[in-house]
Structure formats: structure tokens, C-alpha cells
């Protein structure tokens, strides 16, 4: 028998690759953090001798979710200014709160809270855009979670940097620090077309090409953004980004709710990726991303939650369901974005957008063992005719029992193994008290 580190036996496995595949009564053999084999459970028990063995009856194994757009530390601002349109929410509430409270401690504590929530929801990797990306990267690496940290860029000063050259310089330092890390990757993260001018964007394009990393940016999020761009530059944002050479396979355009058919064709020709954040867009009334039309045009569409300050959770299972249902309504087509496509959007498509699909995003031999186990033998998810449909349309994140990242068991029977949940809650409550007292003083 061949010695391996871990064997996981499961009722069902949805590997995502090949597309729409489902294995029944199969097992995953894991060695040195990677998937060595996927085979029938009876054969696995006869072939492999494991140091650790798990039998998960009534469970579905899937690749861990990839949350392709987050502002993780903003979890500490969850519910601070609800039920407001984007620009009022951002300009009059969130940015002032960030200006007062964001520092390294805020980012560390908020990121730990976010990671705890994400792991308990089956997410194994997140793509972040926030201040102090070095702190986010350090927190993720320390707990064993996979992350792509955004090298944030704005025209105006913040607690992280004062002007574009400093943002870029500090971002490059973070990239250099983590360039060989097995868990941490980096992308440039210019905030949006309306907050970053042409010269810094041109420099980012050159650097992204040289370093072979992506560019993660809010684009066409609201009608107000598009109208403002037309008034100021005479160009819609995508037209401006094209003129700057940014519509390429390196581009991860987040939101994309206001698109013409010509713009969909333009973006498809450039080879970029779209990150769809359906629940945040609905809550802020930003608009509806035509996810099905984008997919039909050949564009890779991934899923993200956005930050918990505008969602208000980091639940990729909820995001999958909303994306699937909304995709049908927007396209007036009940067959649009079926369950297996929604699962692919939440896993492999995110890995493709982040440039890490050779290593994660699906359960195939040789990839890192980034795995989530979802229990389907509950009252709420019985009977099971199609496990993937049941996952997308009927399951909740409380049914995620176990999560592995690179073979490390980070969530074991709903218990976090590398994060101290009680300590996180204590620090979160301390932040709430500080921020609440400040808000009360401001409003009095």
C-alpha cells in the first residue's frame, strides 16, 4: 500500500473539472498538501495507507470557494450605514469612518474576523482590495488561508500612502515580499476609474505586464459612475481603459452592471475577467450585471461577495444562489446559469481570474488540496436527487463542516483550528464599542 497523509471518503465529490462531473462514493488522497488521487472509496482503502482518514457520509466535497472580490477588514464596519445608495454610503459614511479608524490593528482584526467567517462558509481563497495589504497577507499566511492581496492605488492620500508613486512603491514591496509564498499572491488594485488618473494607470499597466500579475478594479459599478466619466472625459470608463491599454487578460473588472452590447464585445475581445457581486449590487441598487450574456460572449465570470459593509456577509453559498437566480431573471431564461455553472463561477472561474487555476479551483490530481465538505443529509436538504443543485439552491453555510487548504485542516467539524474564535469576537466587540461611541458623538 502507498503511504499518504490524508484520505477523505465522501458520499459525493463535485470536482468542477471536468465540467458537470459528479463522483459517488469516491475518495480524495492527499499527500504533501496536494491531491494525489481521486478514486472509488473501496479502491482507495485498498490502495492507500493514510496517517489521517475521514469518512464523511452524506457529504458533498467541492473545491473550496474562491471569493474573487473582498474588502476583508471592512467586516468591522458591517451594518454601519445600511440602506443607502453607493455614493452616499461611500462618501458620507464609509470613507469618513475609514479615515478615523483604519490602521494596522484595524486591518489585522477585521481580516481575522473575515477569514473566520469565510472559512466557516467553505471559502479557501479570497482576493482582497484594501489598505495595509502587507497586514492582510501576513494574517492570511499565519492562519493557512490562501489569499490574493491587492496593491491598492488611489490618486488621493490615505492612511496607507499619500500619492500614486508611494502607493505603487509600497505595493511593489509587498509583491516582492510574497513573490514565492505558496499561499499569497498579489494583484495591482487601482480602486476605480473615477479615483485613479491616467498616468498611474499607465504605469500599472506596464508593471503588471513586467511582473505578470493581474489588475483588480471596480468598473462600471453604477450609472452615476458612467455618467460622471462621460461628463468629465467624454468617454465611458471602459472606453477610457481601452485607450490606456488596460482591456487585456490581466484585467479583473468588478461589478460591470452598466454595459452595452458593444462593450460586452469589446471586453470579450480583450480577454479580461469579470467579478460578479450580485448581493452587494442589489443592496446598493447599483445595477444588474448581465452575467449570462458575459458568459455566452466567452468572458470568464467569477463571483465575489464585496465587503461585509455592503453585503452584509461573506457567504459564497448565498452568492452562488443569488447569481444563479438573478442570471435567470435578467436574461429571461430559466436555463441560464445552471447550478453546475454557478459552482464553477464560485470556484474554478475565480482561480482563472486570479491566475492560480493551475494550482487550485478544482479537485484534480496535482492541485493543492483546497477542499470544502458540505453536509447534505439534513432535513433542509433531503431528498437529494442532484447534489450540486441541492448545494446551490437549498444549502446554507452552516452545513459546511470541514475545510482544508493545501491539505491543512482549517475547519474541523465546524471548529476553527488556526484561528481563535473567542479572541476574534472579543476584539470585534471592542471595535464595535469604539466605533459606536464615535458615531453617537458625531450624530449628537
CA 27 vs. chain centroid, Å, equals 27
Does the predicted TM-score (pTM) go above 0.75?
Answer: yes
Q: Is-contact 64 405, C-beta < 8 A?
A: yes
Q: Which residues pair with 34 in a beta bridge?
A: 31, 368
Collapsing DSSP to helix, strand or coil, 401 comes out as strand
267-287, pLDDT tens digit by residue?
999 999 999 999 999 999 999
C-alpha cell at 301: 465570470
The full set of domains in the chain, from first to last, is 2-63+365-413 (2.30.40.10), 65-354 (3.20.20.140)
**Which helix (H) or strand (E) segment is 436 a member of?**
helix 421-443
362-376, pLDDT tens digit by residue?
999 999 999 999 999
146-199, pLDDT tens digit by residue?
999 999 999 999 999 999 999 999 999 999 999 999 999 999 999 999 999 999
- b/e string for 15-47 if b means 16 or more Cβ within 10 A? bbbeeeeebeebbbbbbebbbbbbbebeebbeb
Burial of residue 248 (CB within 10 Å: 0-12, 13-18, 19+) is middle
109-119, pLDDT tens digit by residue?
999 999 999 99
Q: What is the DSSP string of 265-312?
A: HHHHHHT-EEEE-HHHHHHTT-----HHHHHHTT-EEEE----TTSSS
Q: Which of 345, 324, 341, 342 is nearest to 333 (CA)?
A: 324
118-141, pLDDT tens digit by residue?
999 999 999 999 999 999 999 999
Burial of residue 142 (CB within 10 Å: 0-12, 13-18, 19+) is middle
pLDDT band at residue 444 using 50, 70 and 90 as cut-offs: very low
Amino acid at each position: 500500500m502507498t503511504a499518504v497523509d490524508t484520505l477523505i471518503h465522501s458520499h459525493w465529490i463535485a470536482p468542477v473539472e471536468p465540467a458537470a462531473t459528479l463522483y459517488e462514493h469516491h475518495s480524495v488522497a492527499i499527500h504533501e498538501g496536494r491531491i494525489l488521487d481521486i478514486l472509488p472509496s473501496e479502491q482507495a482503502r485498498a490502495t492507500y495507507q493514510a496517517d489521517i482518514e475521514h469518512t464523511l457520509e452524506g457529504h458533498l466535497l467541492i473545491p473550496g470557494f474562491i471569493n474573487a472580490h473582498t474588502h476583508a477588514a471592512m467586516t468591522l464596519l458591517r451594518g454601519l450605514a445600511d440602506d443607502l445608495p453607493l455614493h452616499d454610503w461611500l462618501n458620507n459614511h464609509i470613507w469618513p469612518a475609514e479615515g478615523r479608524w483604519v490602521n494596522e490593528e484595524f486591518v489585522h482584526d477585521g481580516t481575522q474576523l473575515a477569514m473566520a467567517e469565510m472559512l466557516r462558509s467553505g471559502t479557501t481563497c479570497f482576493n482582497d482590495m484594501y489598505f495595509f495589504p502587507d497586514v492582510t497577507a501576513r494574517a492570511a499566511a499565519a492562519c493557512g488561508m490562501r489569499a490574493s492581496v491587492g496593491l491598492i492605488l488611489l490618486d488621493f492620500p490615505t492612511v496607507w500612502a499619500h500619492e500614486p508613486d508611494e502607493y505603487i512603491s509600497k505595493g511593489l514591496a509587498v509583491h516582492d515580499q510574497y513573490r514565492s509564498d505558496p499561499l499569497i499572491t498579489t494583484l495591482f488594485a487601482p480602486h476605480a476609474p473615477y479615483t485613479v488618473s491616467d498616468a498611474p494607470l499607465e504605469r500599472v499597466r506596464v508593471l503588471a505586464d513586467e511582473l505578470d500579475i493581474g489588475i483588480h478594479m471596480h468598473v462600471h459599478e453604477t450609472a452615476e459612475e458612467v455618467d460622471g466619466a462621460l461628463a468629465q472625459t467624454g468617454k465611458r470608463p471602459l472606453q477610457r481603459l481601452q485607450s490606456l491599454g488596460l482591456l487585456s487578460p490581466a484585467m479583473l473588472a468588478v461589478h460591470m452592471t452598466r454595459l452595452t452590447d458593444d462593450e460586452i464585445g469589446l471586453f470579450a475581445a480583450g480577454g479580461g475577467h469579470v467579478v460578479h457581486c450580485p448581493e452587494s449590487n442589489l443592496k446598493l441598487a447599483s445595477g444588474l450585471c448581465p452575467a449570462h450574456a458575459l458568459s455566452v460572449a466567452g468572458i470568464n465570470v467569477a463571483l465575489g461577495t464585496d465587503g461585509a459593509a455592503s453585503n452584509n456577509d461573506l457567504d459564497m453559498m448565498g452568492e452562488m444562489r443569488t447569481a444563479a437566480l438573478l442570471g435567470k431573471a435578467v436574461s429571461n431564461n430559466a436555463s441560464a446559469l445552471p447550478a453546475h455553472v454557478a459552482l464553477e463561477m464560485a470556484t474554478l472561474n475565480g482561480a482563472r481570474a486570479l491566475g492560480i487555476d493551475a494550482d487550485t479551483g478544482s479537485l484534480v490530481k496535482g492541485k493543492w488540496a483546497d477542499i470544502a465538505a458540505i453536509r447534505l443529509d439534513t432535513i433542509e436538504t433531503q431528498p437529494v436527487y442532484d447534489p450540486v443543485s441541492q448545494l446551490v439552491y437549498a444549502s446554507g453555510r452552516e452545513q459546511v463542516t470541514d475545510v482544508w487548504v493545501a491539505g491543512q485542516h482549517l475547519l474541523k467539524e465546524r471548529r476553527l483550528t488556526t484561528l481563535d474564535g473567542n479572541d476574534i469576537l472579543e476584539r470585534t466587540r471592542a471595535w464595535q464599542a469604539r466605533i459606536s461611541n464615535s458615531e453617537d458623538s458625531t450624530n449628537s
